[in-house]
Amino acid sequence: MTDHSRMCAFFQLEDVSMLRKIVLALAFMMPVMANAQVPQLREDNVDEVLKAMTLHEKARLVVGTGWGSMFGVGLLNADPVEVRGAAGMTRSVKRLGVPSVVMADGPAGLRIMPGRSKRYCTGFPVGTLLACSWDTALVQEVGAAMGQEVLEYGVDIILAPGMNLMRNPLCGRNFEYYSEDPLLTGKIAAAMIRGIQSQGVGTSAKHFAANSQETNRTGNNAIVEEDVLRALYLKGFEIAVREAQPWTIMSSYNKLNGPYTQEDKWLLTDVLRDEWGFEGLVMTDWTSPRNTPAQIAAGNDLMEPGFKKQINQIVKAVKNGELDEALLDVCAKRVLELVVKTPRFHGYQYSNQPDLKSHAEVSRRAAADGMVLLENRSALPLQGVKKVALLGVGSYDIIAGGTGSGNVNKPYVVNLMDGLKNAGIAVDEGAAADYLKYISHNSNRKKGYVMVGKAAWKEKAVPVAQIKSLAMNNDAAVITIIRQAGEGEDRSVNDDFCLDETELALIGDVCREFHAVGKKVTVVLNIGGVVETASWKLLPDAILVAWGCGQEGGNAIADVLTGAVNPSGRLSMTFPLAYEDVPSSANFPIGKKEVIKDVMSTATGASKDKGRKDVDYTVYEEGMNVGYRYFGLDGAKVSYPFGYGLSYTTFSKEELEDGSVIVTNTGARSGREVVMRFENGILSAFAKTRLLAPGESETLKF
């Protein structure tokens, strides 16, 4: 019923006095007339719309709509939840034609609630695996596939990439991050951002900055000398901003040299914008109200998930002169500039049917190309192997990715048993039956804190007698070792960084019994972060790091084990001989169970500073001594050095005058090579060849 027809109906009515009729008619006319006067948001009239906004409307605009959408329910008088399971939304200002926009996690794929319409999203490999591919073109392709799902499921911004530097191997979120080196981090992140944004949706490079531990992350004060901060912890973000201009940056939970990053004008305005030329918006990581006016003043444009009280805080602060309204205008304008870029603003009719089938193929190919072959004593690719003894509980329940906001609601995960069968390799049915029975009981999962997703399994012991029998009845053995990691908790040394007794016994027994009958053993590390390898790595004949390998993980591992894919991954971080060798281990919160308090402090926005070393404050005493900058590249002092990785073929490299390199495949199998350039021992450039057939060459330019 149009406004006009309603008015006509009124004038037909008998029981309403003429005066009231005129008043009511005017009441109908006002919005129509008013709308006729107030500007409606377009891409080219942001300043005009900003000028037309009331103080309250501007305060609303910079505060998200709350936790509701994450749990699929709209909050009272907030905007209706557009996409169930999305992490957050901005608020609309209907009077001025400003729609709300939708943000959802995460770095390994879009995370929304599948619901009855089964809106599953592709589980891509985790960030660490992508970085180990050293292949920016591949990462950009993964980003484009991910971005297409963001677009077609009606989301405007995906809260990715996660790109904090791996300061310490035990940070619980390292799986979501890329490397111990800022150049590799920045280049991979820029590729991911370009890929995602090529689909017309936005990204949020996170967590800015120096969010290097999960323990007490909402209260921890990272104390870092400025030259180290810039060269290591900011450099990756700087490269990503300068090369890819992410639509948004997410300011981190932690403090940095005193102030919260979310209130730090030096970080968010002087460095990020004035020095680096960042043109987008800064949103907070998901925390409860802190000092909202200070956040606005620092250039933190959007509070997420957002609470109504923050709107009132802002209005009050402007009114009492605590907050200059011009600073609020700067933030509100950036929200409007973000909104007008979004598919939702442009009325994109999303299909809810992204091309999951082709994305699964991208996920599988990417997974195989980011896996790293650490050992191979004539065991791989599997030759003349018809049936394997497939051991390790992870073989039957692959860890596709990490837990927490980085989890993805995937349509399926291919385990290694099915991956091998798909590749035409049978597995020992007896062993398989034992493991499948074992993983049917959740009581066999590890205890521990998991924010979103599932804890890993405790390893199952296998009696020696059974291993002897397996050695007789199978052509080879494959053992998968798994590690789960996730947001909100850091890892520990015992039974996490180090393998536990059951795992070591399994590897030892299987190697002894299979070698006794001249058969080979391969260990697959399906892990979220670095583990101890030196004490056992000479026992098996091959070791393949599969990382969190996405929903097609089992197929991708089988592709590498069978030689369908020649592994070309190289480590993006150092595998030390022992955790204690890591310089930052002297200033890292091992085993300090502040996690639960941390979760509460996330909810409350800040934890109480009790002056606890490595919990309330962490001094980055190691300075530049992170990873290969300390251990070097020759491997002498580590188990496996940064940049390490084997291939099924060999390559020669010829340096040319102009600095380019001719790479030739001198082996018998097609393969890809990564060439890295170092200046004064620091990574300065890298490039990866296409697939080179035996004898084929490619000239790489830097």
Residues engaged in binding ligand GLC (CB under 6 A): 87, 105, 159, 206, 285-286, 405, 487
CB of 242 to ligand GLC, least distance (A): 23
CB of 284 to ligand GLC, least distance (A): 9
CB of 487 to ligand GLC, least distance (A): 6
Q: Of 177 and 497, which CB lies nearer to ligand GLC in the complex structure?
A: 177
Round to whole Å and give the CA distance between 386 and 421. 10
- 15 annotated active-site: no
CB of 579 to ligand GLC, least distance (A): 25
User: b/e per residue, 242-277, with b = 16+ CB within 10 A?
Assistant: eebbbbbbbbbbbbbbebbbbbbebbbbebbbeebe
For residues 325 and 83, the answer to whether their CB atoms sit within 8 Å is: no
Q: Of 105 and 552, which CB lies nearer to ligand GLC in the complex structure?
A: 105
Q: Which two tokens stand for residue 7?
A: 């008015």
Helix (H, G, I), strand (E, B) or coil at 591: coil
Q: Of 87 and 98, which CB lies nearer to ligand GLC in the complex structure?
A: 87
Round to whole Å and give the CA distance between 196 and 145. 7
Q: Of 562 and 601, which CB lies nearer to ligand GLC in the complex structure?
A: 601
For residues 482 and 402, the answer to whether their CB atoms sit within 8 Å is: no
Tell me which H or E stretch contains 222: strand 221-223
- If one counts every other C-beta atom within 10 angstroms of the C-beta of residue 383, the result is 12
Round to whole Å and give the CA distance between 10 and 25. 8
For residues 390 and 475, the answer to whether their CB atoms sit within 8 Å is: no
Fill in the amino acid letter for 632.
G
CB of 87 to ligand GLC, least distance (A): 4
CB of 339 to ligand GLC, least distance (A): 19
Q: Which two tokens stand for residue 654?
A: 């010829």
β-pairing, 102-104 vs 88-89, is antiparallel
Helix (H, G, I), strand (E, B) or coil at 139: helix
CB of 111 to ligand GLC, least distance (A): 8
Spatial CB neighbours of 36, under 8 Å, sequence gap ≥ 6: none
CA-to-CA separations, 473 to 23, 85, 478, 480, 489, in angstroms, rounded: 92, 48, 14, 19, 42
CB of 93 to ligand GLC, least distance (A): 23
Q: Of 64 and 576, which CB lies nearer to ligand GLC in the complex structure?
A: 64
Q: Of 208 and 278, which CB lies nearer to ligand GLC in the complex structure?
A: 208
Round to whole Å and give the CA distance between 310 and 60. 9
Name the one residue in this structure whose structure tokens are 């072959």.
Answer: 373
**Upper half-sphere CA count for residue 56 (Cβ side, 13 Å):** 4
Spatial CB neighbours of 589, under 8 Å, sequence gap ≥ 6: 213, 215, 216, 490, 614, 615, 618
Q: Of 450 and 700, which CB lies nearer to ligand GLC in the complex structure?
A: 450
Q: Which two tokens stand for residue 31?
A: 């919005």
For residues 183 and 235, the answer to whether their CB atoms sit within 8 Å is: yes
First to last CA, the chain: 65
Closest of 604, 603, 596 to residue 488, by C-alpha: 596
Q: Of 218 and 639, which CB lies nearer to ligand GLC in the complex structure?
A: 218
**CA dihedral for 536, 540, 545, 546, sign (positive or negative):** negative
For residues 264 and 226, the answer to whether their CB atoms sit within 8 Å is: no
Q: Of 286 and 648, which CB lies nearer to ligand GLC in the complex structure?
A: 286
Q: 57 φ, ψ to 5°? A: -65, -40
Spatial CB neighbours of 88, under 8 Å, sequence gap ≥ 6: 64, 65, 66, 67, 69, 70, 102, 103, 286, 304, 305, 306
CB of 267 to ligand GLC, least distance (A): 17
CB of 132 to ligand GLC, least distance (A): 21
Catalytic one among 135, 156, 181, 285?
Answer: 285
For residues 262 and 300, the answer to whether their CB atoms sit within 8 Å is: yes
Q: Of 253 and 588, which CB lies nearer to ligand GLC in the complex structure?
A: 253
Q: Which two tokens stand for residue 274?
A: 């004035």
For residues 342 and 83, the answer to whether their CB atoms sit within 8 Å is: no
CB of 102 to ligand GLC, least distance (A): 12
CB of 504 to ligand GLC, least distance (A): 34
CB of 462 to ligand GLC, least distance (A): 38
Q: Of 381 and 486, which CB lies nearer to ligand GLC in the complex structure?
A: 486
Q: Of 158 and 498, which CB lies nearer to ligand GLC in the complex structure?
A: 158
Helix (H, G, I), strand (E, B) or coil at 55: helix
CA-to-CA separations, 452 to 120, 485, 488, 497, in angstroms, rounded: 16, 11, 10, 22
- If one counts every other C-beta atom within 10 angstroms of the C-beta of residue 678, the result is 13
Q: Of 147 and 419, which CB lies nearer to ligand GLC in the complex structure?
A: 147
Active site residues: 285
